[in-house]
Amino acid sequence: MENRVVQGRMVTPKRLAELIEGEDVMDAEPIEDADRECPECGGNVISVGYMPSVTEFVTGYKCQDCDWAADDR
Ligand SMILES: [Zn+2]
């Protein structure tokens, strides 16, 4: 699946990665369901693998309903 709704807005994988990272990212993989609940609101969590720089690959997590986000660093 490509685009997903996050906090009421449709986002692309790259846009989702940028929401998690807080700045531009180089590349992002397709968005996946993370099979976990948001610790803040119990909402659905989605994940995206992305490259914040050429030497780094990060898996990021974002709640679809609130501001909660995390990564696997
Ligand atoms: Zn949440």
- Please give the pLDDT value at position 1: 56
pLDDT band at 2 (very low <50, low <70, confident <90, very high): confident
> What's the CA-to-centroid distance between 37 and ligand 1, angstroms?
8
> What's the CA-to-centroid distance between 44 and ligand 1, angstroms?
7
> What's the CA-to-centroid distance between 27 and ligand 1, angstroms?
25
Contact 29, 14 (CB under 8 A): no
Q: Per DSSP, which regions of the chain are E strands? A: 4-6, 9-11, 27-28, 32-37, 44-53, 56-63, 69-71
Q: pTM for this one? A: 0.93
> What's the CA-to-centroid distance between 9 and ligand 1, angstroms?
15
CB neighbours of residue 8 within 10 Å:
7
Q: Domain map of the chain by residue range? A: 4-71
Encode pLDDT of 44-66 as tens digits: 999 999 999 999 999 999 999 99
**Mean of all residue pLDDT scores within the chain:** 96
pLDDT band at 70 (very low <50, low <70, confident <90, very high): very high
